[in-house]
Amino acid sequence: MPIAQFDGALAVVTGAGSGFGRATTLALAERGATVVAADIDLESAERTVVLAKALGASGAAYQVDVADAGAMESFAAQVRSVHRVPDIVVNNAGIAVAGPFLDTGLQDWERIVGVNLWGVIHGSRLFGRQMVERVGSLPTKPDRPNKGGHIVNIASAAGFTPSRELPAYCTTKAAVVMLSECLRAELAASRIGVTAVCPGFASTNIARNATYVGVSEREQARLRERGQRALQLRRYPPEKVAERIVEAIVKNKPLVPVNFESHLLHAISRVSPASLRLLARIPAPLR
């Protein structure tokens, strides 16, 4: 069951200090939600909350590493204790690792899987259980059925687009898409919606903060700045992605490609996956 009215809702957003996370937090705050902004960078999360309060919303900032199971358990318990069970959870925190599979070390894999996949698993498992328990503890009224809530998992167009240059990133995002589909089926009976949102290129700092494997530190710095310039040239602001996230919650959509290239790649992945396999062999121009 979608959360059609945000006024009075409690929304938890991870990776809320910048990019999609900040834009989504503010979009929900603007519509009347109380927001819990979580980020590994506490100062960034606090700045997001300041902006949310300027919109007239209530909010709180928390520091948490979504890859840390213990930290996420403490965070979820604190949200429930200090606030209440959230109505909306947006598992947004994510990082990028670029470069060939054979150059990607175990530490690189552990970090990206920890943030991009385990972070989504922790957020969905911990807050999803809270939502299910809340539904079971409330009396059901025929005219007003209990709304369990909504979980949004930020994946990527990379989740259905193979790439020789992004094997680690594509793998984690594909896993998020499938996890969301499985979770949606399981939680439907508790009236909890689950959506996988798949943005294409957008103006965030993910390229500037990316790890490029198999190259020197100097080359990494060059590739980061080049990738960042390319994303800025796309001129697709995170606020547009946030609008699609809000729409997905209201309409309870299962999968949401965002912007032209994501829609195109998703369509090709369904109609002609062999074409994407051929495209995956082309070296990335940013190298």
DSSP helix/strand/coil, 140 = coil
**Cα–Cα dist 104/138, whole Å:** 48
**Cα–Cα dist 74/6, whole Å:** 26
**Cα–Cα dist 46/52, whole Å:** 10
Q: CB–CB of 95/208 below 8 Å? A: no
**Residue 62 known to be catalytic:** no
DSSP helix/strand/coil, 192 = strand
Give me 16's structure tokens.
Answer: 């809320």
Q: Which among 182, 193, 106, 180 is positioned nearest to 149, based on CA atoms?
A: 193
Angle between helix axes 119-137 and 167-187 (nearest 10 degrees) is 10
Beta carbons within 8 Å of 14's beta carbon, 6+ residues apart:
21, 38, 39, 64, 66, 90, 91, 92, 93, 119, 123
Give me 198's structure tokens.
Answer: 């798949």
Q: CB–CB of 252/5 below 8 Å? A: no
Q: Which positions are annotated as active-site residues?
A: 169
